[in-house]
Chain A
């Protein structure tokens, strides 16, 4: 006999159906009086900060943001690391250079349909320019609205992802 038979513990005494049913009914009635747990979505939303009742993890990886420096210029130096590392090949970058020799992106587009939201672009970015964001409401009326250009990436204001838990950076 190679196969072991797992036998669940059943009530030894013969139980009464009617009384068990009444017990169950008392339980369901108790649940009717308990507070409801449903989030009323369009009125209540999950937020990135921990103040609300419903929070998203700060490690959530949503649609991207491009950060700017104090002068309002994009931080991106068009080094080309993010299109290089992107596993979905969704970042389009054309670098440019001004008279002082500063590199900047002429074209920077992310196809959010292709993106797999791995967060590698944020991880690899030496200037901390491109970030994945804590954000989940992305619906649009047409497909081409999902290719985010530089202007759109810069104008987003949602919080950026921390990618890892700051209190436990090595994931232990």
Chain B
């Protein structure tokens, strides 16, 4: 192996260890954050006994989960039952590999290490674990693998509640996968590329995509909630109906795998939203962060962290605000609202970009995006003020109008 290859491998391993550690520690702390946020929203303090302000609570939970008894249902399909937590957990962790967490660092590194020999690395070091040319397609592909873990967990438990949870989860994730993929096509149209680096660059030179592609952002966010099985889409768990859904029969560390996978998925979806629509690691209004200094890498990493943290908070905020959907509402939203909306939005964006470039002859990236932003304002008004009158989520007034008719008949008869 040449020195350059060794250097590349070594740095990749270092990146892997760093990202894996940060993800695992971060996920542990996310469970604490979830409990704290829920407590604050209910005028409570939340966990504050273990360590300062409860900071060691995740460690206590972890120790408890490791030393607890593992119960195995007698009638379960044990092989799949043991495999399912891993199947839920691995895709969730894989996703962190492709997200660029900071600005690339310019490295000039020559060294002679014991055992390894001469290593060197010259050029920009990407702050994603790996810079895949397929970009977000990889994320879409791997995130839909997560459904296997949940569906198999539900099926192998041999328990009717688990089975229903698994079935619901597979139906839900497959339905929303479609809308999720469709909602990202406008990003592709605007960038012309699927790699994260290219998408971030485009947003640095133009505008953050949340402005010119607002509807896309909205659809992606909603689909992201559904993909991670978070409230209001947590029908696979649905405590009130299914006990705990697909992980009813799990205990100890195998149970822990599912929450870990859920929180990791949340972090990934947040990072995806940030990367695709909020400029990734970009710090707005300045350009020095793009030139690859160590300071820029640190500052952008911090900025990325803050943005992701906001969306993680947003996930929790939604969870402790909205009630769970009915199952028919969920399916109707996925197939009858999200998918047509995403398809229509692709058409509109196509036409708009074509019109701006060929009819109006605008070439400036920022002006193009500003015009798209204007179009999105109109579309946003149409969607949220005209379309969303009982169509996005039909409330109970439909059922009550039937009841009204029944009551009227009753009154007439009496």
Which residues of A pack against B, CB within 8 Å? 1, 4-5, 7-8, 10-19, 21, 24-25, 27-29, 31-32, 34-38, 40
Contact = CB atoms under 8 A, between A and B. Distances in A.
B322 A21 contact: yes
A10 B397 contact: yes
A7 B400 contact: yes
Contacts, number: 80
Given A14-B389, A19-B388, A38 B44 contact: yes
Contacts of A38: 43-45
Looking at chain A's contact residues, the main secondary structure is loop
A16 B413 CA distance: 35
A19 B385 CA distance: 9
B51 interface: no
**Chain B interface bracket (under 10, 10 to 19, 20 to 34, 35 or more):** 20 to 34
Contact of B389 (A12, A16, A21): A16
B111 to A, nearest CB: 49
A17 B388 CA distance: 7
Contacts of A19: 384, 388
A32 B390 CA distance: 29
Contacts of A5: 403, 406-407, 410
A26 B320 CA distance: 12
A35 B43 contact: yes
Interface of B: 37, 40-45, 317-318, 320-322, 384-385, 388-393, 395-397, 400, 403-404, 406-407, 410, 413-414
B410 A28 contact: no
Contacts of A12: 397
A31 B400 CA distance: 31
A31 B391 CA distance: 30
Nearest to A8: B400
B320 A28 contact: yes
A31 B37 CA distance: 11
4 tightest Cβ-Cβ pairs between the two chains A and B: A14-B390, A17-B393, A14-B389, A10-B400
